Structure 1
Amino acid sequence: MTSIPQDFDPEAPEDFESAHRDYARLRGECPVAHTEGLGGFWALSRYDDVKRAASDSATFITSVQNVIPKIAFTGRRPPLHLDPPEHTPYRKALNPLLSLERSEAFAPKTRELARELLAPMVAAGGGDICVGFSSHFPVHVFGEWMRMPEEWLETLHDAGRAFILAVHMNHPERMKDTSLKLYEMARALIAIRREHPEDPAVDPVSALLEARHEGQPLPEELLVGTVRQVLLVGLVAPMVMMGSISVHLAGDPVLQQQLRENPALIPDAIEEFLRLYTPYRGFARTAVRDVELHGRTIPAGEGIALLYCSANRDESVFPQGDQFVMSRPNIGEHLAFGRGPHNCPGLHLGRMELRVALEELLAATPGGFALDGEITMSRWPEIGPLVVPLRFG
């Protein structure tokens, strides 16, 4: 049997830019790459290939493996773990609650939460923006959207963080244990809503309980899996993104001050930050047949990573792809929220969170901020920092 070359090492130590340099190499020399790391998989690094695989759900499916490293040890979690049309009832129930209008309705409370969470850092003259702020911030925003009991939020924060760290360490048993804790929360929340139903137009769990597919309620275990998936999916990306944005702005005080003096630029800046520091590289697909691409054959049944973070720096689509460029004419083409039937349903909520968080961070630091120590990077499936110490003023 012919061995397949090891084109890159997903388990190599990384700094803030090292993975991006490696993905630039892959885009130029080996756009369909293979590795034996993290269980073995293929990786697509160019924009057109990633977009095609994300959009073609008939050829590239998620129901076999949807993330690298493989972490689904505790049951199916729609909608991400199902392919169309099976995933559609779950998206149909959740999508209206994540509309632009609905998401922006949370902006005032989100701003209040941001100020409360930043206040201790301001008083201390700085701190870790990820551990002290952005690991908690999306949990509280999400708790508002999910209408969770407030006393659950710290438990969700701790359980979610433990699961994320287990994934980064590629520790299957710890992933399973921490995931089961999140399942316990999902079942408890469903039980509360069954006993005390809420308006499905505003409450996600009630919407899922009200949903019907071919006249029948959603299957119980898949319903639980959906709530378990929703409990975590919106917590990681905002934390990593705020870390990346903070590192960038700490190294570019001119841009930092420009955004501070002209907050109207912040929405455009957020889009460029999303492109430049897309926080995911490990969302996966599996081809249902052999796929020929750039002279290589990806065999049916093998995992394929969609390197969104690489695709969004593809210079054939985004000139100077590794540079921050304000108001790119084609910025709306970035893939930070995916494409196709599994594009991120929470894109409006995520944009709002990042916009408000950056506005409040800049407003709280009129004297500027700078790095104040070493950053710590996340591992697959995310890309970006988990620890970013800042000094204010």
Structure 2
Amino acid sequence: MDTLPDFLRIDPVLRRVSLDGRNPGFYSDPNRVYALLHQHCPTFYWEEQKQWFFTGYDHVNALLRDRRFGRQILHIASREEIGLAEPEPHLQNFDLAERYSLLELEPPEHTRLRTLVNRAFVSRHIERLRPEIAALAESLIDGFEKDGRTELLSSFADIIPVTMIARMIGIPDEMGPQLLKWSHDYVGMYMFKRTKEDEFAADRSAKEFADYVKSLIAERRRQPREDLLTHMIHTEHKGQYLTDDELVSTTIVLLNAGHEATVHQIGNSVRVILDSEFDPANLFADEAVTERTVDETLRICAPVHIFQRWALEDVEIDGLSFKRGDKVSLILAAANLDPKKFSDPLAFQPGRQEAPNLSFGAGIHFCIGAPLARLELNTVLPILFRRLPSMRIAHPPVVKDVYHFHGLERLDLAW
């Protein structure tokens, strides 16, 4: 039996776990801890988070699809009924921006919003962006190839996803750095390290973000264009159009989800490949091989680790009874390492043909941007390794203290 690190305590009988999510020993290499949880206690009560967590692949996969659980609860229960605190006044702008988020809604509102947006993100529409993504990647590499070194996140990974999602929505390229700042502040609300200062920053950025999107909406109403924002403004679903608040929430969630995770995934993927014993030329030999390589990086170093769900009714899962209004957490990145589904799960094996990874979720909240994220990864990673075949990691990378996200502070490369 593996020895537990000093920051982890597991009581397999009571299924209770004590784990400091801010300990670098954990967030720097969460896969090792997930392996221990699979070994001792795949379903557990995390004492510091005061919540039940599931890591088993079958449980996570089923719960993502289980309509007895949902992303919101206040559509069927009052705050008093489930003991939920009142909204914080200093988060009113953030809460307003989140109110109609695709990530937070349940049917029928979720169905209406997703139907209006979905057409732009289906694979056949997204595939048209491949030449544009490739051209952007090539031009960025042109800018640093001669230097013999680069910090890949700032020179490459940060730029491609935010540029592409902004162009799709209809936001000019020069807004990229501002969008990144707003987004970083905004997603700070979902990190275990969240402080009061993070909350004030998120609320401030939510207001600035929303005000900017409102100005764009007004502009597109006056002068429609061939972009996603115009499409969302002028397309109806069963006689209904999106309200301004719905348009703001949807645009913000598309911008945040459309780049934040992909930035981390580009960095994580490059690191895993360079740390492996595989020849990158073989990992990207053709499109089919490339897709398997990208799938394996998504499995072993996913950028988003946790999705949460509310119990919408009394329900029993894995011998545990949950009441309506209870919240549970699903660790997608741990489900991707379940030894019941994946042989030698901590090993990077691009040839795997086992269970599909759960990094994009499942069910009605399956990531709407998955086709775009996959296309970006499948396009830019082969270009990067083809252009810089002697690329190597110049300094040991440090993982960011941003759990439950997983990404690098920086990735210094040389060739």
Structure 1 equivalent of residue 376 of structure 2? 353
Q: State the 1:61 CA deviation.
A: 0.7
Distance 1:164 1:73, change over 3 A: same
2:177 paired with 1:154: yes
2:95 paired with 1:73: yes
Identity %: 24
Q: State the 1:48 CA deviation.
A: 0.8
Corresponding residue SS for 2:278: helix
Structure 2 equivalent of residue 342 of structure 1? 365
Q: Which moved more, 1:225-234 or 1:121-130?
A: 121-130
Structure 1 equivalent of residue 412 of structure 2? 389
CA contact (8 A) 1:281 1:305 kept: no
2:58 paired with 1:35: no
Distance 1:82 1:352, change over 3 A: same
Aligned counterpart in structure 1 of residue 106 of structure 2, from 83, 105, 112: 83
CA contact (8 A) 1:16 1:385 kept: no
2:309 paired with 1:285: yes
Structure 2 equivalent of residue 308 of structure 1? 332
Distance 1:83 1:363, change over 3 A: same
Structure 2 equivalent of residue 215 of structure 1? 239
1:372-383 equivalence runs, <5 A: 372-383=395-406
Structure 2 equivalent of residue 194 of structure 1? 221
Matched letter for residue 341 of structure 1: I
Corresponding residue SS for 1:377: coil
C-alpha distance after superposition, 1:245-277 (max 9, x if no partner): 111122125332423666762222011111122
Q: State the 1:95 CA deviation.
A: 1.1
CA contact (8 A) 2:18 2:47 kept: no
Q: State the 1:45 CA deviation.
A: 0.6
Distance 1:86 1:163, change over 3 A: closer
Matched letter for residue 301 of structure 2: Y
Matched letter for residue 234 of structure 1: G
Q: Distance in 2 between matches of 1:340 and 1:141?
A: 26
Aligned counterpart in structure 2 of residue 258 of structure 1, from 282, 293, 310: 282
Distance 1:323 1:106, change over 3 A: same
CA contact (8 A) 2:182 2:209 kept: yes
Q: State the 1:62 CA deviation.
A: 0.4
Q: How many residues align?
A: 380
Structure 1 equivalent of residue 200 of structure 2? 173
CA contact (8 A) 2:15 2:41 kept: no
Q: Distance in 1 between matches of 2:142 and 2:188?
A: 27
TM-score, structure 2 length as denominator? 0.84
Q: State the 1:387 CA deviation.
A: 1.8
TM-score, structure 1 length as denominator? 0.88
Aligned counterpart in structure 2 of residue 324 of structure 1, from 339, 348, 352: 348
Q: Distance in 2 between matches of 1:13 and 1:64?
A: 33
C-alpha distance after superposition, 1:125-148 (max 9, x if no partner): 222222321111111111222222
C-alpha RMSD of matched pairs (Å): 2.6
Aligned counterpart in structure 1 of residue 163 of structure 2, from 122, 132, 140: 140
CA contact (8 A) 1:78 1:226 kept: yes
